[in-house]
Structure 1
Amino acid sequence: MGIKVEGIPSEMTAVQVVEFHKPCQINQVSTPKELGDYDLLIKTAVASLCHTDSMVIDGMFPTGLPRTGSHEGTGTVVQVGSKVENFKKGDRVMSGIPKNPCQSCANCKGPDDWHQYCENVEGMIGVFKADGAFADYHVADSRMSCHVPDDVSLIDAAPLACAGVTIYRAIIVSETKEGDWLGIVGAGGGLGHLGIQMAKAKGIKVIAIDARDEALELCKKAGAEHVFDARKGKEEVVREIQKLTGGPGVNASINVSEHETAAPLACAITKMHGNMIQISQPAMVNIPFQELIFRDIKIKGSLVAGQEQSQEMLSLVGEKGIKVEVNTFDGLKEVPKMFNLAHSGKMKGKAVCVVDKSQV
């Protein structure tokens, strides 16, 4: 049995998907009334917009409606479930996305880095079967959430809840180490500009590739020393990267772009027997057979990181001064404008909503 929520208003503002393929609505809804054993009730400080929010609107997940959006949230704990041991009231928190994993499947019983793959998870906040952070209060799972270090702002930490932990795990899965070359295709977006900084903080040599002027500018701002314009064409980009790396190409690559040419390009810039990590989510990922068979490029998918790696990522962000490029919006009423900016193709970095100014 859960415990009753106490000491907060009975209603709150929330931005909800009410109908697929339609804009979100700003509604007054009931605040959470009960917490599960491992739940955290969080007074939302900041909620960030992710590409996945648009996928929710497009009906690409088993999302029951209405559903409060945003799976990238930060805030302050106001109440904890009866079995929570690692958080207390007043803690600053970055919300975990999975909600109530089953604890019995192979992923839950495996290493921490498998837990986010639970086959029987109750839901994913802001995505399906669990409401997200586009609200005055939201609930997250203490076993998936992280403490925000003092040297990381709640504004910066919000986009890290998905974008940050996704690109960080991809770097780990790529198996690149200090001194290696890592190529990031789509490097000038919300995930990519974080990946540039995180990889450099680990001593990895980064090659950034994108195809928009705004994105190429952000790559450079994020510290990429080697930036290539994909609009030059695959052959030219591959030739230039092979020249830069002394012939073989990068040790591994990460594809953050959904464009149909992105995955083939990521493979082509990677040396034989290397890894290409696919984290963007187009309907189909099409790879020329030559890359798989004649060059032995290994394609690996990657989801968000587990709690341990996510906490490690937050520490790295604080210690190395990694900066999130944010477009800040004031209050939940501004969320529709966040979607408009994201769809314009002109956004640099991430769009974040400051829900509660007093916390930031």
Structure 2
Amino acid sequence: MTTTIKAAVARNTGAALTVETLELDALKDNEVRVEMVATGICHTDAIVRDGIYPTPLPAVLGHEGAGVVTSVGKTVRNVCVGDHVVLSAAYCGACKQCRAGRMAYCENLFAEDFGGRRRDGSTSLSCCGESISSHFFGQSSFATYANVVEESVVVIDKDVPLELMGPLGCGLQTGAGAVLNEIKPEAGSSLVVFGVGAVGSAAIMAAKVAGCTTVIAVDIHDSRLELALEIGATHTINSISCDVGEEIKKITDGEGVQYAVDTTAIPAVTKKAAETLGIRGVLVLVGAAAPGTEVPFEVGASLVKGWTFKTVVQGSSIPQEFIPRLVSLWKQGRFPFEKLIKFYSLDDINQGFEDSKKGSVIKPVVKLR
């Protein structure tokens, strides 16, 4: 039996989303139906809308959903009707990486998250007989309801506000996980974050949780840098008005930083981040770079530094384990991501995209009920 829903549809490459009435099909055995409360807008939604990543259009995007489970498929075992859930990336659960607990590096990641179809080739969404790509990151959460694969569902405590929790599913998990799961900085260490959007802000909060005592935020927006100080940064640098490398030398007494996180995926920024590292430093890239992006690192004089470069997806996390940890930190006041959020209605979703692009809002969230 089909259900009538409202959703924001990406119909044409680079064009604004259109809010439409769609039909949601019957639940499959491995799926969970979720009534959406809210969903975050992420940079990945924008680059898929703009054709940089390969999801076929028309499609319902959205991959930071949060809501309440209204029904479950026959084979679902870990989710119940009435559960409050955050939705994260899908993974196959069967490949070598998934079976080793490395879901973020699922061998079938592009098919599971960007393919726009179920594994059997079907789509859950349609409009007057026209198929609409669904199951974006296993969910397609720019909608009032969604049929979501069980692997994307993370059950959370019912005593937290669902309208805030969606961004934990991607952007915040990515930034925090890059620090807590991948870098694992020692207490008292130094860390710089390039780009203080949602991902970078999460990295800053996580650095504070980890006990870093020098946390440097680099951005071009003074408003973001001011907020960075409020959530955990000890120093800020506006890269337009000064030389980042020289400023970091001053802050670290000429030693350079031990850890760097680049959320921008801009080659010149990634290169600069590498140059700020001290001996045995580690640079982690978490920004969504377009396929074919290259960075020209200097490896002659820097060879003796013994530095490391890593690319990290989704904070190298197991969502069902890591997201509840972030919820607990939020409850304790140690991960205050609510300070990043501005709410929009579904009808105003395109304004949320625009405000994020301009840098006037760090994390736009669409409320769906």
Superposed displacement of residue 175, structure 1 = 3.0
> Secondary structure, in 3 states, of the residue corresponding to 2:35?
strand
1:295 to 2:334 alignment: no
1:174 to 2:188 alignment: no
Pairing partner for 1:349 from 353, 362, 365: 362
Contact 1:98–1:123 under 8 Å retained in 2: no
1:4-15 alignment to 2 at 5 Å?
Answer: 10-15=3-8
Pairing partner for 2:15 from 14, 22, 26: 22
User: Alignment RMSD, CA only?
Assistant: 2.2
Distance 1:122 1:139, change over 3 A: farther
> Secondary structure, in 3 states, of the residue corresponding to 2:163?
helix
Residues 270-279 or 195-204, more deviating: 195-204
1:201 to 2:209 alignment: yes
TM-score, structure 1 normalization: 0.87
Residues 47-56 or 259-268, more deviating: 259-268
1:44-59 alignment to 2 at 5 Å?
Answer: 44-59=36-51
1:326 equivalent in structure 2: 341
Pairing partner for 2:318 from 280, 303, 306: 306
1:118 to 2:106 alignment: yes
1:78-117 alignment to 2 at 5 Å?
Answer: 78-98=70-90, 101=92, 103-110=93-100, 112=101, 114-117=102-105
Superposed displacement of residue 292, structure 1 = 5.8
- Percent identity between the two aligned chains: 24
1:143-162 alignment to 2 at 5 Å?
Answer: 143-150=151-158, 152-162=160-170
Whole-angstrom CA distance in 2 between matches of 1:223 and 1:175? 17
Superposed displacement of residue 123, structure 1 = 4.3
Distance 1:198 1:151, change over 3 A: farther
Superposed displacement of residue 136, structure 1 = 0.7
Whole-angstrom CA distance in 1 between matches of 2:165 and 2:21? 26
2:141 equivalent in structure 1: 133
1:66 to 2:58 alignment: yes
2:250 equivalent in structure 1: 243
Whole-angstrom CA distance in 2 between matches of 1:292 and 1:15? 48
> Secondary structure, in 3 states, of the residue corresponding to 2:237?
strand
Contact 1:182–1:207 under 8 Å retained in 2: yes
Contact 1:152–1:317 under 8 Å retained in 2: no
Contact 1:252–1:274 under 8 Å retained in 2: yes
> How many residues are treated as equivalent by the alignment?
339
> 1:33-54 CA distances to partner (integer Å, 9 max, x unpaired)?
12232x2211000011001111
What one-letter code is carried by the residue in structure 2 that aligns with 1:137?
Y
